[in-house]
Structure 1
């Protein structure tokens, strides 16, 4: 039958590269998005941006399970969640650059 996808994040627009004098360098050029996931699922992340960004999908130990550099429109995954209960998305660009990134993430059964 048809597999239902379970939305984990978004779709939501995230601003990357904003001026922020409270962080080193003065710009928030890396944004992290924590995800609550369920074990034994497949996680897919979709991003679209008005300026090229680097995207990393990481496990709860901080290791990258997938990444793409300089993308405007990309789908990453699906990646197995294995036994994990949390994962994350990292969005990054060079200091001084700025992007509005539409991000969504969802899970489907393995």
Structure 2
């Protein structure tokens, strides 16, 4: 590990609730939560997820393509995902209809 290599926190750690009742959205349940991230180009993004119920996790790029995903995650670290020239990326958390989960999410970038 280099002296100048620094980990830059881009989100969290923060606990979110997925699958809550919400009459303002279609279907009345918030089964998908999106988290926008601001990242620096030419870095790698890592995401840590911890949940009390299995959730699906997707890391998306700025061009709306998937950098990676995992289904049924309760405890995982995803990455490294190259940020390329992107200045923004995102995390999507999802549960099946009727399920509910408390999810702790943390995301950071560093040089690889």
Alignment TM-score, normalising by the size of structure 2: 0.96
Which residue of the partner structure matches residue 28 of structure 1? 30
Alpha-carbon distance, 1:95 to partner: 1.3
User: Which 4+ runs in 1 deviate beyond 6 A?
Assistant: none
Match of 1:105 among 104, 107, 112: 107
**In structure 2, C-alpha distance between the alignment counterparts of 1:98 and 1:49, rounded to whole Å:** 10
**In structure 1, C-alpha distance between the alignment counterparts of 2:63 and 2:81, rounded to whole Å:** 15
Pairs within 5 Å for 1:1-110:
1-2=2-3, 3-110=5-112
Unmatched 5+ stretches in structure 2: none
**In structure 2, C-alpha distance between the alignment counterparts of 1:65 and 1:79, rounded to whole Å:** 6
**In structure 2, C-alpha distance between the alignment counterparts of 1:81 and 1:54, rounded to whole Å:** 21
Unmatched 5+ stretches in structure 1: none
Deviations, residues 60-92 of structure 1 (Å, cap 9, x unaligned): 121111000001001110111000000000000
DSSP-derived class of the 2:41 partner: coil
**In structure 2, C-alpha distance between the alignment counterparts of 1:74 and 1:62, rounded to whole Å:** 23
Give the alignment's Cα RMSD to 1 decimal: 0.7
**In structure 2, C-alpha distance between the alignment counterparts of 1:62 and 1:20, rounded to whole Å:** 26
